[in-house]
Amino acid sequence: MATALADADESILITPAELHGILKSPIDHENRVVCIAAGRNAASASFESCHLPNSVFFNLDEIRDTTSSYPVMLPTCQVFTAAMKRLGIRATRGDTFIVYDTVEAGIYCAPRVAWTLAHFGLKNVRVLNSFRQYVQDGYPHSSAPFPPSAKPDDATPMYRVADAARTIAFEELRRCVLEGCRQYQILDSRSEDCFLGKAVGDGHIPGALNVPVACLVDSCKNLLPRPEMRATLEDAGVDENKPAVLSCNTGVTASILWLALKVAGYDVKARLYDGSWSEWKDRAEEQGLIVCHRDLL
């Protein structure tokens, strides 16, 4: 944890150079920068060998709704609060949170964790673009062990959902689709093959637009800058004036779409479909609610 951002660019993204400048400055305990490594179980070994100094690891496989049959669903308020206690994070008004992925991933889970922090009301959340670039640029990193779990702090408040409308449940989305989904555009971040349903169990929600994650990052796996991002979204048919539902396979890469819309400057209401394709393919029973490539031939 280091001194917080003062006059930094208000973009949700932070560059390696900008972050390095912050981390090398004197520590300000009143205005901290909290670095959060984002990933799943498979990322643990990578983060242990290479991470930002004094980071904590937000493991999506652990900080989730354990009552759901679907993977990495949003945690309950109780689960999220307990996780923040274990990580030793007691958010204050002056804190800034920097979320980042593994060197290998570039941009992948960090947007999901950033979205989750904002979902529970944390302010000043930014995503490093990217830790891979940070390491390639020669900035210092660490292989020291992550801090042990913090002792429970009874003073840590219970976190609450800041805005329930930032998500959309299956039942509401199903109703919208059956009615023609005129009020939303549905954006799907999965690969084209998955979207078209070339394998058994794949396909897409009727009316959805395919915006694959691979199109939103460059060859170094950094998120595209604004001009290129706008062009990519326009090419995919995304309407910058229409509210969007964001979907993927399990709700993780749909959060990259959320970040991409912000980077592009699209000021639209975006709602995350947390269950995404994993839930839709299981529960969309009516004929016509699943589109696959055979229907397109």
Residue 180: partners with Cβ closer than 8 Å, 6 or more residues away: 207
Q: How far, in Å, CA of 113 to CA of 206, rounded?
A: 28
> Which residues fall within 8 angstroms of residue 129, CB to CB, at 6 or more apart?
13, 14, 15, 16, 107, 222, 223
Catalytic residue selected from 35, 109, 194, 248? 248
186 and 208 in contact (C-beta within 8 Å)?
yes
Q: Dihedral of the CA atoms 99, 104, 107, 109 (nearest 10)? A: -60
Query: Is 248 a catalytic site residue?
Result: yes
Rounded-to-10 torsion of CA 22, 27, 30, 35:
50
Distance of alpha carbon 226 from the chain centroid: 18
Say whether 185 sits in a helix, a strand or coil: strand
| Per-residue DSSP letter, 139 | -
H-only helix segments in 137-248 = 170-178, 192-196, 226-235
User: Peptide bond before 130: cis, by omega within 30 degrees of 0?
Assistant: yes
Catalytic residue IDs: 248
